[in-house]
Structure 1
Amino acid sequence: MRIQEPNRTGMINAYNKTGQTPVGKGRKLSMGKDEVNISAEALEMLKQVEDPDSPARREKIQRLKKQVEDGTYRVPSDKLADKILSFWRKL
């Protein structure tokens, strides 16, 4: 028994053509551009960040790394709770 699918090719072609827009003579299809938009909040956060190459920042990073390695680093729970609450209140 042989089953033929006469409309299969037609359906694939119809599907492929749905994304195309008709272009007349002399008209070119313009392509969109990629864009990156940085929010005002992100720009403000960038201003608040210390210079990554500053000696004070490098010293702080080394101190925190040592605390984590030694197991002496502790996150103050009250500060953590304040940050979580302020985040959820903004939403």
Structure 2
Amino acid sequence: MRINEPNRTGMINAYNNTGKAPAAKNGRIPMGKDEVNISNEALEMLKQVEDPQSPERREKVNNLKKQVEEGTYKVPSDKIAEKFLSFWRKL
């Protein structure tokens, strides 16, 4: 039995090279720039967030941490339900 061209790598190399960006003259591949876009809604939310360094915020976070560690923190299910409803109504 004869197998034609057992060492044929041309097709494999052609397949492996698809999707690769062509190298520039200096041998480096040109790279695109990363870009981040923040929506107007997200910017508005950032304005409404309390300053994370404020003493009131730190005290609130420390109280919540203490309650969670002690096991006395109770999840306010009514507030969670309200947030879910408002989220799903926006869609």
Same fold (TM over 0.5): yes
Q: Which moved more, 1:30-39 or 1:48-57?
A: 30-39
Residue 57 of structure 1, CA deviation:
0.4
Q: CA RMSD in A?
A: 2.8
Identity of aligned residues (%): 76
Maintained 8 Å contact 2:21/2:30: no
Q: Could you list the structure 1 runs, at least 4 aligned residues long, displaced by more than 2 angstroms after superposition.
A: 1-7, 16-22, 29-32
Q: What is the DSSP-based 3-state SS (H/G/I as helix, E as strand, rest coil) of the residue aligned with 2:64? A: helix
> Which moved further from structure 2: 37-46 or 51-60?
37-46
Q: Where do 5+ consecutive residues of structure 1 fail to align?
A: 23-28
TM-score between the two structures when normalised by the length of structure 1 = 0.71
Q: How many residues align?
A: 85
The letter for the 1-side match of 2:77 is: S
Give, in angstroms, the shift of residue 43 of structure 1: 1.4
How many Å apart are 1:31 and its aligned residue? Answer: 4.2
Classify the secondary structure of the residue corresponding to 1:38. coil
